[in-house]
Amino acid sequence: MAEKAKNSTKAPKSYSAEKLAAIESVEQPDTPVMVNVDHVTKQFRLKKTISLKDEFVRFLLRRPVPDRGMFTALDNVNFTINKGESVGLVGLNGSGKSTLLKCISGVQKVDGGHIETRGHVAGLLEVGAGFSNDLTGRENVYLNGAILGMTKEQIDNAFDDIVKFSEIEKFLDTEVRFYSSGMYMRLAFSVAVHSNPDVFLVDEVLAVGDEPFRRKCAKKIHELKEQGKTLVIVSHSTDQVLQFCDRAILLSHGKMMADGNTEQVLSVMLGREVKK
Amino acid sequence: MNGSKKQKSTEDDSLGDLTTPGQSKGLLSVFHYRYLLSLIVQKDLRVRYRGSYLGMIWTYIKPLTQFFVYYVVMGIFLGLSKRGENYALYLFSGMIVVNYFTETFRVCTRSIRSNRGLVKKIYLPRELFPVSSQRVAMVHFWPQVAILFLFCVINGWFYGVNWRHIVAIVLGFATVSVFGLALGILFGALNVFYQDAENFVDVINMLSPWLSPIMYKASVVSAHLPDWLMHIYLLYPVTASAELFHYGFWYPTTDQTEALSSHLLLNGGIGFGIACVLLFIAEAVFKRLDGRFAQEL
Ligand SMILES: Nc1ncnc2c1ncn2[C@@H]1O[C@H](COP(=O)(O)OP(=O)(O)O)[C@@H](O)[C@H]1O
Ligand SMILES: [Mg+2]
């Protein structure tokens, strides 16, 4: 176990260096920088709480102080995203994608470097993060809208569209605890896309709902792209990344391995040829 | 690659400047989010009374039960009601201040943890959570004030009241609110790292009805404490607020001959000052720790 951990920190899943070098960078549009990730480092403490009991036992048994070492989740990550770009953030589990999105949205603070964003940034880091089971669908639309930075008037105006898009008209005045998971996610996603952000951070939530709804989401994402919105998308679905993103950033153990053409980055990551 | 930074800035003026995410003006930014604040308060109340038939009626039942226990045991069995006029009003006016304080302290301390789903996923000024929790405590406080006021009026409050009593009530409410919020913010932040905070707060809350002159009079204490300690006792913001409420609500219903603790309004003012300083310190600590909330929860 320990052996394995050590190995993996020394040699991150080795992507072929030549192939990485061969990835073409994507030319950024001539628009303002929306997200500036400047040499960002993020560390976590490994063991969190120590209790008095632990300390006492350790003292009695004369054990050494446990390793409270730091774990580097993001290591000198550096890139900018301009207005109108949609960038895919790819990498294996634990490579730091979610951590990076949390830092961009301001939920977590970076330890080194800095991050700047422009305009209204909305994170869809987890479907329905702001939902409360004890409120009805209608009430949750208002609560979640306000959480995502909308005013009451904005929610009032967007309300019909939100409901229509989510297809839950009949259950609007039912508490969401009685929703099926698909309905729940549709409503949450619907509120998020209607909150009209300038930068939209999406973490593995595009796979919600059934096939027709996924198509609808895809259409909406394309619409947002056409409106010149900026998107940062984390997805396990190679198809989705290919479909939405012109540019991809590959993370491995917190390090940025590549930044460029989506097809090429995905090919290197998966070790096989990927085409649109 | 960064060459485009400054270009086209005119076209996209509405987007504003590059800013560091996750920064807020702290407590002041809560004002900007007042619509969200009201929705969170509604949500908290809904969660509290979900599946409840009596609902908000519980906010009347609980303090009245508590009042009757105190009244029967302290007032009748131990005979405190014979020492001075309108003991029931004296008891109730102090009790609701302490109840408001203990509830504020308890719910604010738990507020960050109980909203961890949001704290971990979406950036909001985190002061929103203790502040909204205090609003919930206030929603429970107002009905008690209404009951108190009703009984004060029945007992001739209007015949004895003057502007100093009104000032006392307002100052008392302000002091206990600021003090409760200050402690709630401080312990709410600490509770993210060590859940011992919650238990510590429960202990303080258990002591609170005995620590301030609620069932007994402050004059009883002065016989047992040296002068300097008595000053501290009276300046403790919860005590100061309870005394202000006694003065504002109970006192006008009496013949106003009973000796009060000296400098009551002055003590109240100093208590308020202490509470404000504490709020300032608590907010500073909260802001220092706030950046680590999401990853520790
Ligand atoms: N709050 C946290 N405390 C400690 N370690 C964390 C925390 N959040 C994430 N990590 C660690 O950081 C690494 C990156 O996690 P994450 O960003 O969630 O990866 P991904 O989203 O790419 O799968 C993981 O090894 C994870 O265990
Ligand atoms: Mg993830």
Q: Tell me whether 0.90 is exceeded by the ipTM.
A: no
% pLDDT > 70, chain B: 96
Give B147-193 pLDDT, tens digit per residue. Answer: 999 999 999 999 988 999 999 999 999 999 999 999 999 999 999 99
Overall average pLDDT of the B286-297 stretch: 90
- Contact criterion met (CB below 8 Å) for A191 and A26: no
What per-residue confidence (pLDDT) applies to A12? 47
Q: Do A114 and B20 touch (CB under 8 A)?
A: yes
Nearest to B108 by CA among B91, B88, B128: B128
Is the pLDDT at B47 greater than 90? The verdict is no
Give B70-124 pLDDT, tens digit per residue. Answer: 989 988 888 888 877 888 999 999 999 999 999 999 999 999 999 988 899 888 9
- E strand residue ranges, A180-273: 199-203, 230-234, 247-252, 255-261
**Higher pLDDT among residues B5 and A156, named by residue:** A156
Distance of CA A109 to the CA centre of its chain: 15
Q: Which of B18, B39, B117 lies at the smallest CB-CB distance from A143?
A: B39
What per-residue confidence (pLDDT) applies to B12? 54
Q: Which CATH superfamily is domain A18-41+75-270 in?
A: P-loop containing nucleotide triphosphate hydrolases (3.40.50.300)
Which of ligand 1's atoms lies nearest the C-alpha of A108? 1
Question: If pLDDT is split at 50, 70 and 90, which confidence band does B13 have?
Answer: low
Q: How far apart are CA A40 and CA A109, in angstroms?
A: 10
Is the pLDDT at B43 greater than 80? The verdict is yes
What per-residue confidence (pLDDT) applies to A208? 64
Is the pLDDT at A185 greater than 70? The verdict is yes
What per-residue confidence (pLDDT) applies to A54? 79
Q: How far apart are CA B238 and CA B244, in angstroms?
A: 10
In chain B, residues 7-66 whose CB comes closer than 8 Å to chain A: 7-9, 12, 15-23, 33, 35-36, 39-40, 42-43, 46-47, 50
% pLDDT > 70, chain A: 91
Burial of residue A21 (CB within 10 Å: 0-12, 13-18, 19+) is exposed
- Contact criterion met (CB below 8 Å) for B253 and B86: yes
Q: How far apart are CA A208 and CA A35, in angstroms?
A: 26
Overall average pLDDT of the B261-272 stretch: 88
Question: If pLDDT is split at 50, 70 and 90, which confidence band does B139 have?
Answer: very high
What per-residue confidence (pLDDT) applies to A47? 67
Q: How far apart are CA A192 and CA A221, in angstroms?
A: 12
Is the pLDDT at B218 greater than 50? The verdict is yes
Which residue among A99, A232, A269 has the greatest number of ligand 1 atoms within 8 angstroms of its CB, and so is best to mutate? A99
Q: Do B18 and A80 touch (CB under 8 A)?
A: no
Is the pLDDT at B7 greater than 50? The verdict is no
Overall average pLDDT of the B217-228 stretch: 88
Is the pLDDT at A6 greater than 70? The verdict is no
What per-residue confidence (pLDDT) applies to A179? 87
Question: If pLDDT is split at 50, 70 and 90, which confidence band does B5 have?
Answer: very low
List chain A domain ranges. Answer: 18-41+75-270
List, chain by chain if needed, residues with CB within 6 Å of any ligand 1 atom: A 44, 71, 73, 91, 93-99; B 295
Ligand 1 centroid to A18 CA: how many Å? 28
Is the pLDDT at B4 greater than 80? The verdict is no
Q: A134: which chain B residues are within 8 Å (Cβ-Cβ)?
A: 43, 46-47, 50
Nearest to A30 by CA among B13, B11, B17: B11
> Which residue type does B182 have?
A
Is the pLDDT at B46 greater than 60? The verdict is yes
Q: How far apart are CA A110 and CA B295, in angstroms?
A: 11
Give A70-96 pLDDT, tens digit per residue. Answer: 889 999 999 999 999 999 999 988 899
Q: What is the dihedral of CA A102, B17, B12, A101, to 10 degrees?
A: -10
Q: Do A108 and B22 touch (CB under 8 A)?
A: yes
Overall average pLDDT of the A198-215 stretch: 80
What per-residue confidence (pLDDT) applies to B248? 94
Query: Token digits for B242?
Result: 């309870």
Q: Which residue of B has its CA nearest to A118?
A: B18
Q: How far apart are CA A107 and CA A126, in angstroms?
A: 13
What per-residue confidence (pLDDT) applies to A264? 86
Give A21-34 pLDDT, tens digit per residue. Answer: 777 778 888 888 99
Give A86-143 pLDDT, tens digit per residue. Answer: 999 999 888 999 999 999 999 999 998 999 999 888 877 777 778 888 889 999 999 9
pTM: 0.88
B196-211 and B87-114 are packed helices; what angle lies between their axes, rounded to 10 degrees? 170
In chain A, residues 71-100 whose CB comes closer than 8 Å to chain B: 80, 82-83
Q: How far apart are CA A179 and CA A172, in angstroms?
A: 10
What per-residue confidence (pLDDT) applies to A7? 41
Q: Spell out the residues 6+ positions from residue A257 whose beta carbon is closer than 8 angstroms to its own.
A: A15, A20, A91, A250, A251, A268
Task: Centre a 10 Å sphere on the Cβ of residue B228 and count the other Cβ atoms it contains.
Answer: 8
What per-residue confidence (pLDDT) applies to B126? 93
Is the pLDDT at A3 greater than 60? The verdict is no
